[in-house]
Structure 1
């Protein structure tokens, strides 16, 4: 939409001398040459004219076209930035490596079930499970520390893991990775 240039109030010396219609046509051509859509080019040209007229009332402009092209470029950059903010998928920049709230709550629940199951185990079985699964000690090292045979350590591990599996299944929690 072309600005109604006749209705613009004249004021300073530049506004009387400039042919604003000619400037607006030049701005639209400049913007269209930069692959700007026609409607956007007209809007930016109109906004540029308003700013040029405002500046011309306060001070003399050496080159109306040079200033107009600069203003139009800045308005175009502002428009592209605003459109990019609107079209970017929300949250793309705000993704977190932290687990989701659901996963945190599920993990806390699994931990509580795990801890209750450990507390109910006989002390020797609990000690073997903790040493093997938590501290990553070998069966041989556990056997030597607790004066047990390797077979006895393996049986405690097997029974302890079965207890943990049953407790997790009873609570509705998938005990993934417990058998490894």
Structure 2
């Protein structure tokens, strides 16, 4: 059986922080987090042990996100136009730390692309421009499978460089 008290101790603050990053106030994050744990407790009470979700943390996060979405819908439907709780609306713009991480990753990827030979890099560039593999193969006069394999090699190289940067102490979201 799940130890709800242990799950609460381990994930309550983490879940609230996650909700705060999604744009809700501290009070709303605390309420949504608590409601997610209540839902989990209700699930444990009425579900046979073998049918419970295997990952309590994932269940809590998904439940909290769903509760946040429901709260936002209620605000849009119920609140008069002049009384909307703006704190309950998630700002879709990236957070400053996400912008910094993205800029750092972009610089790393640009440097990594400089190491890629011209043929594969050209396939990558054309694909980023929106061309299909068939169009790339025709334009470069190469077999379709070569276009696929060249792009795959570029993507593996970029992934390796990101992984090396992560292992070097920088922790980017996956």
TM-score range, shorter chain: 0.3 to 0.5
Work out which structure has the larger RCO, using CA pairs closer than 8 Å and 6 or more positions apart in sequence.
2
TM-score normalised to the size of structure 1?
Answer: 0.43
TM-score normalised to the size of structure 2?
Answer: 0.44
Larger proportion of helix: 2
